[in-house]
């Protein structure tokens, strides 16, 4: 694949670099070698008698035209929500426009546990009951590589042209044949402004004895360990680091958990603990904090640590076995309308991947259009890093060690 020239816009440039970094040649080769046949059998935890290869099975017949429904699995605080009516306004409008009923489930708490839950069925090409799943770059790459996703029909998604150019040709999905970006965001520090008046500047500030037992970190390895590595001066986006750097950071995490400094290691649910007051300072995600402030009084602050924060994207995909792909595509198309995208961005406050959304945002809330966490500028992007792609061997060992350190 010839490398196109890097875009001049700093935001796009950073995203292009980020996406290129997210899959190394080594891991692609390794994946091609042994995975396809054996993993399919084994994924069903050894019980299935005949190995099936989802890649060749082909998707089931599409029933979208008769069955006007679609189910979408997403993370919490990730779609505009109206507290008073208890509905998602953009989804309501979508149903009104298209007649397609959407079952929206906040089913994903972290990538690994979601993958572990559905992998067995996906490996056999079965319907997991969900037509759209939303997973982070590295996991999206794994799903696509293993043939667990269906190819998107761009004719049903004309608006996909609005995808920011830098995100169009990512290494884990060249030409975006299987995935479309939902949102991008940052991992960084957040704290309760009343309780931690001085605020936080570096990850090491979390280890302040005053915060003992009131700190929580994410169960997403790439964010938590990534931020600690950045704090230790490692450029997590480069290929320059390996076991030594990773385990040095893990050591810090281990100490802080053992000493009781870290109260809990959690997925998306850390947000509840910020609200209940159990957690006063966390490693968290940029958009969550803005939503919390909006819903529960302006009480928290989010920053990228001085040494830098993590940058990631989540991607919409249609799992193999879904029989309502066309409905799913219609929904994706809808969310790539800049006006709708702006409406979502105004609520979720993550980085919006849709071109033209910023202009639309100016009409909704000019202040948000200037927010560098939603429409990042040079300075912010220079301080955000994408965790480099891991080989399956590294992935296995790092994840196993990480899970051990967090008590599992």
325 binds other proteins (CB under 8 A): no
Q: Please check whether residue 151 is in contact with residue 318, taking contact to mean a CB–CB distance below 8 angstroms.
A: no
Using the minimum distance from each CB to other proteins, give the nearer residue, 229 or 279. Answer: 279
Q: Could you write out the DSSP letters of every residue in 109-140?
A: S-HHHHHHHHHHHHHTT---S-SEEEEEHHHH
Could you say whether residue 121 binds other proteins (CB under 8 A)? Answer: no
Q: How far is the CB of 56 from other proteins (least distance, A)?
A: 17
- Euclidean distance between CA atoms 202 and 184, whole angstroms: 22
- Dihedral angle, C-alpha 249, 253, 259, 261, nearest 10 °: 120
Tell me which residues in 197-236 interact with other proteins (CB under 8 A). 212-214
CB of 196 to other proteins, least distance (A): 14
Among 99, 116, 174, 175, binds other proteins (CB under 8 A): 116
The span of 29-37, 50-58, 232-240, 357-365 binding other proteins (CB under 8 A) equals 29-37
Instruction: Report residue 13 as tokens.
Output: 């440039």
Examine residue 296 and tell whether it contacts other proteins (CB under 8 A): no
CA distances from 92 to 96, 103, 130, 132 (A): 6, 11, 19, 17
Establish if 28 lies at the interface with other proteins (CB under 8 A): no
Q: Which of 20, 176, 263, 326 binds other proteins (CB under 8 A)?
A: 263
| CA distance readout (Å), 36 to 43, 86, 137 | 11, 43, 20
What whole-number distance in Å separates Cα of residue 36 and Cα of residue 235?
32
DSSP of 223-240, one letter per residue?
HHHHHHHHHTT--TTSTT
Looking only at the bridges linking them, the beta strands covering 69-74 and 215-218 are unpaired
Verify binding: residue 260, other proteins, rule CB under 8 A: yes
Query: Count residues contacting other proteins (CB under 8 A)?
Result: 47
For the CB of residue 273, give the shortest distance to other proteins in the complex, in Å.
Answer: 8
**What's 179's DSSP letter?**
E
Identify whether the C-beta of residue 303 lies closer than 8 Å to the C-beta of residue 202. Answer: no
Nearest Cα neighbor of 306 from 401, 200, 157, 225 is: 200
**Contact region for other proteins (CB under 8 A) — 92-100, 239-247, 260-268, 339-347?**
260-268
Cα Rg, the chain, nearest whole Å: 21
Binding status of residue 113 toward other proteins by CB under 8 A:
yes
- Report, in Å, the least distance between residue 379 CB and other proteins: 35
Q: Which is nearer to other proteins, 41 or 361 (CB)?
A: 41
Of 145, 176, 222, 326, which one interacts with other proteins (CB under 8 A)? Answer: 145
Element (H, E) at 317: strand 309-317
Closest CB to other proteins among residues 173, 329: 173
Is residue 46 a contact residue for other proteins (CB under 8 A)? Answer: yes
Beta bridge partners of 74: 106
Which C-beta is closer to other proteins: that of 107 or that of 278?
Answer: 278
Q: Is 9 in the site for other proteins (CB under 8 A)?
A: no
99 scored as a contact of other proteins (CB under 8 A)? no
CB neighbours of residue 82 within 10 Å: 12
Rank residues 222 and 263 by Cβ distance to other proteins and give the closer one.
Answer: 263
Residue 82 main-chain phi, psi, to 5 deg: -100, 110
Two structure tokens written together for 338: 């800049």
Per CB under 8 A, the segment of 297-305, 322-330, 381-389, 397-405 that binds other proteins is 397-405
Residue 39 or 95: the one with the smaller Cβ distance to other proteins is 39
Quote the CA–CA distance of 30 and 297 in Å, as a whole number: 49
Q: Residue 329 CB, nearest distance to other proteins (Å)?
A: 28
CA dihedral 202, 206, 208, 212 (to 10 degrees): 180
Which spans of this chain sit near other proteins (rule: CB under 8 A)? 30-31, 33-35, 38-39, 42-43, 45-47, 110, 112-113, 115-117, 119, 142, 145-146, 212-214, 257-258, 260, 262-265, 276-278, 392-393, 395-396, 399-400, 403-408
């Amino acid at each position: 694949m010839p490398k196109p020239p890097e875009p001049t816009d700093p935001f796009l440039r950073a995203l292009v670099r980020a996406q290129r970094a997210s899959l190394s040649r080594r891991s692609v080769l390794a994946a091609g070698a042994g995975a396809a046949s054996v993993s399919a059998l084994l994924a069903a935890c050894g019980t299935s008698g005949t190995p099936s290869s989802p890649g060749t099975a082909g998707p089931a017949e599409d029933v979208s035209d008769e069955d006007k429904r679609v189910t979408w699995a997403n993370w919490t605080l990730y779609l505009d929500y109206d507290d008073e009516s208890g509905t998602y306004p953009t989804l309501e409008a979508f149903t009104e426009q298209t007649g397609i009923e959407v079952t929206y489930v906040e089913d994903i708490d972290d990538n690994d546990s979601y993958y572990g839950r559905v992998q067995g069925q996906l490996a056999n090409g079965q319907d997991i009951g969900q037509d759209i799943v939303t997973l982070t770059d590295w996991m999206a790459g794994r799903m696509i590589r293993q043939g667990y996703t269906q190819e998107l029909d761009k004719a049903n998604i004309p608006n996909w042209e609005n995808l920011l150019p830098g995100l169009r040709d990512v290494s884990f999905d060249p030409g975006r044949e299987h995935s479309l970006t939902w949102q991008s965001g940052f991992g960084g520090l957040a704290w309760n402004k009343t309780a931690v008046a001085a605020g936080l500047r570096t990850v090491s500030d979390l280890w302040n004895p005053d915060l003992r037992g009131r700190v929580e970190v994410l169960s997403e390895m790439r964010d938590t360990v990534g931020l600690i590595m950045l704090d230790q001066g490692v450029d997590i986006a480069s290929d320059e680091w390996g076991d030594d750097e990773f385990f040095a950071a893990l050591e810090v995490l281990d100490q802080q958990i053992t000493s009781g400094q870290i109260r809990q290691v959690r997925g998306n649910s850390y947000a509840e603990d910020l609200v209940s007051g159990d957690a006063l300072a966390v490693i968290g995600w940029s958009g969550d904090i803005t939503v919390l402030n909006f819903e529960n009084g302006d009480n928290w602050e989010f920053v990228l640590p001085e040494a830098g924060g993590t940058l990631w994207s989540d991607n919409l995909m249609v799992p193999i076995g879904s029989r309502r792909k066309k409905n799913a595509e219609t929904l994706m198309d809808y969310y790539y309308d800049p006006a709708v995208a702006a409406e979502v961005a105004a609520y979720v406050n993550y980085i919006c991947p849709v071109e033209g959304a910023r202009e639309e945002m100016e009409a909704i809330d000019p202040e948000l259009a200037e927010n560098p966490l939603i429409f990042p500028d040079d300075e912010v992007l220079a301080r955000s890093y994408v965790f480099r792609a891991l080989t399956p061997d590294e992935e296995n060992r790092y994840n196993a060690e990480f899970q051990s350190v967090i008590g599992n």
